[in-house]
Every structure is written in structure tokens, then in C-alpha cells.
């Protein structure tokens, strides 16, 4: 499977505008993981999950197939960033207590990634994969963003996006699964920050590449009356869907 690099051209914006996961999510992962020596964050992007894990694990290896993403990743003394695909991490066998993939699993060759995760996990180690789709602010704004997501850039979403829209519920998960709490990313956004985030979408990038114009400009025109002043912060929520399991 060839690596489809949807994000290198927007790595700096990805690091700046992608939402941050709640502390409670990482507290939970630490609670259910039997040891806290080492964790591997696959498809780390700019390191949002890796830095969260570093508060609980002695060392975190964070990998991404995109060199540009790694170059823009958030530095942390406990995180070692490496350019490598999720299906071939380069980690030693039975060397980590936790494997995570945050908003990344849909880009992987899943059967090969599952095999790699089983190889590097220690006995009773934990694997957690999670995703989110659209933010929620208030009905009028949400409807405008949904129309943009499905209509304007809808034809430009790669097919892998379908499993995120199903919140990872339609995929195989070959581990001893257990329930995760319901986590929500919560963040204040200005209109400019919302635009910056939407410009990191792979479909938005594909639209720009094919059409030679930025579709977010039209979205901003439509959003402005509902949003208010562009510097006005709005409370945004991204519900998180997680699959989590244990090595048996």
C-alpha cells in the first residue's frame, strides 16, 4: 500500500489549528495500561496525542510517514519523533505498554498495522484508536459547516474518510475490546481559527489543488453573520469515538 501524503503541504497549519485532546483521555489511558514505561503513537501528525501521553509515560515514540509532519511536531523531552509508517515502526518486539493512533487509523493499512501493534505490545498491553468528525458550536453554524463538509468539499474526501464518519464502528478490531468513556474535545475558536482548522482538511486541500481556489473564503462569507465578529470566540465541541482493547 503506497503512503498517500495528504498533509505535508499543510503541516505548520496542522500543528497550529488541529484541536487538542482532553487531559481526561490520557488519564484514562494511563489508568487502564498496566505499566507506564513506553508508549507508541502511530501516525502522530504534529504530536498532539504524543505530548499528552508524555505526561504519563516515561518515554513515547511518535511516528509518522510524513517527514514534514515530524518536522513541525511539538517538541517534548519524553517524546522521540521518527519518520516511519505505522505498518513498520522499527520498534523492538514486546517493547511498549500502549499503542495509540489518534485521528490516523483510517490512513493505515489496517491488517498490517494490527500485526505491527501486536508485535510491539507487551503482554496485557493496551491499544487505543480514536477519531472525531465535525465540531459542534450552535445549530445555525453547524448546519453551514455540514453543508460545506458534505457539499462543497464532499466530493474531495478520500474514501478512507468513510470509516471516520462511522466513528470506527464498522472496522475490525482484533483485540480484547473494552468500553471507553465518552470524551469530548472542548476548545474556544475564533472564526479565523475555525477557518485555519477547516483548511487543514484533506478534502479542502484536494479542492484547492484541483480548482486552484480556496473554498473556505466562501464559507467565511456565509458564516460571518451567524458567528459575529471574527475575533469573537465560540465554544466548540468535537465528540471523540474510541476503540480500545488489550493484548490477550
**Domains of the chain and any CATH numbers:** 8-246 (3.40.50.150)
Predicted local confidence at residue 13, as pLDDT: 58
Predicted local confidence at residue 185, as pLDDT: 96
Number of other CB atoms surrounding residue 84 within 10 Å: 15
Predicted local confidence at residue 2, as pLDDT: 41
- Asked if 184 contacts 239 with a C-beta cutoff of 8 angstroms, the reply is yes
Cα R_g (the chain), whole angstroms: 18
Q: Could you list the pLDDT tens digit for every one of the 248 residues in the chain?
A: 444 444 445 556 555 667 889 999 999 999 999 999 999 999 999 999 999 999 999 999 999 999 999 998 999 999 999 999 999 999 999 999 999 999 999 999 999 999 999 999 999 999 999 999 999 999 999 999 999 999 999 999 999 899 999 999 999 999 999 999 999 999 999 999 999 999 999 999 999 999 999 999 999 999 999 999 878 999 999 999 999 999 98
Give the integer Cα–Cα distance in Å for 146 and 212.
Answer: 22
Predicted local confidence at residue 27, as pLDDT: 98
Query: Which residue from 22, 58, 35 is spatially nearest to 126, judged by alpha carbons?
Result: 35
Give the integer Cα–Cα distance in Å for 118 and 127.
Answer: 9
Strands 176-178 and 234-246, sheet pairing: antiparallel
CA distances from residue 190 to 14, 53, 71 in whole angstroms, order as listed:
16, 27, 26
Mention every residue, 6+ apart, whose C-beta is less than 8 A from residue 202. 6, 7, 156, 157, 158, 161
Question: Rounded to two decimals, what is the model's pTM?
Answer: 0.91
Predicted local confidence at residue 7, as pLDDT: 47
Give the integer Cα–Cα distance in Å for 58 and 76.
Answer: 12
Give the integer Cα–Cα distance in Å for 241 and 248.
Answer: 23
Mention every residue, 6+ apart, whose C-beta is less than 8 A from residue 99. 39, 40, 42, 117, 120, 121, 125, 126, 127, 128
- Asked if 100 contacts 128 with a C-beta cutoff of 8 angstroms, the reply is yes
Residue 81, C-alpha cell as written in the block: 519523533
Residue 164, C-alpha cell as written in the block: 471516520
Amino acid at each position: 500500500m503506497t503512503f498517500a501524503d495528504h498533509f505535508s503541504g499543510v503541516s505548520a497549519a496542522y500543528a497550529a489549528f488541529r484541536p487538542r485532546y482532553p487531559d481526561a483521555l490520557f488519564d484514562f489511558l494511563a489508568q487502564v495500561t498496566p505499566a507506564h514505561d513506553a508508549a507508541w503513537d502511530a501516525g502522530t501528525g504534529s504530536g498532539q496525542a504524543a505530548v499528552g501521553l508524555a505526561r504519563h509515560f516515561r518515554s513515547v515514540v511518535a511516528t509518522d510517514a510524513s517527514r514534514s509532519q515530524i518536522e513541525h511536531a511539538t517538541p517534548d523531552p519524553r517524546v522521540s519523533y521518527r519518520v516511519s509508517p505505522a505498518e513498520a515502526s522499527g520498534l523492538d518486539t514486546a517493547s511498549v505498554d500502549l499503542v495509540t493512533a489518534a485521528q490516523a487509523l483510517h490512513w493505515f493499512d489496517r491488517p498490517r498495522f494490527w500485526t505491527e501493534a501486536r508485535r510491539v505490545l507487551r503482554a496485557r498491553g493496551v491499544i487505543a484508536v480514536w477519531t472525531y468528525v465535525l465540531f459542534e458550536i450552535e445549530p445555525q453554524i453547524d448546519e453551514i459547516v455540514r453543508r460545506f463538509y458534505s457539499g462543497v468539499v464532499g466530493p474531495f474526501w478520500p474514501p478512507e474518510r468513510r470509516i471516520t464518519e462511522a466513528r470506527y464502528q464498522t472496522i475490525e478490531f482484533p483485540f480484547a475490546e473494552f468500553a471507553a468513556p465518552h470524551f469530548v474535545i472542548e476548545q474556544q475558536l475564533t472564526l479565523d481559527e475555525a477557518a485555519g482548522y477547516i483548511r487543514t482538511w484533506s478534502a479542502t486541500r484536494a479542492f484547492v489543488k484541483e480548482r486552484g481556489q480556496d473554498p473556505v473564503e466562501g464559507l467565511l462569507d456565509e458564516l460571518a453573520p451567524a458567528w459575529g465578529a471574527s475575533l469573537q470566540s465560540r465554544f466548540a465541541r468535537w465528540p471523540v469515538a474510541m476503540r480500545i482493547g488489550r493484548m490477550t
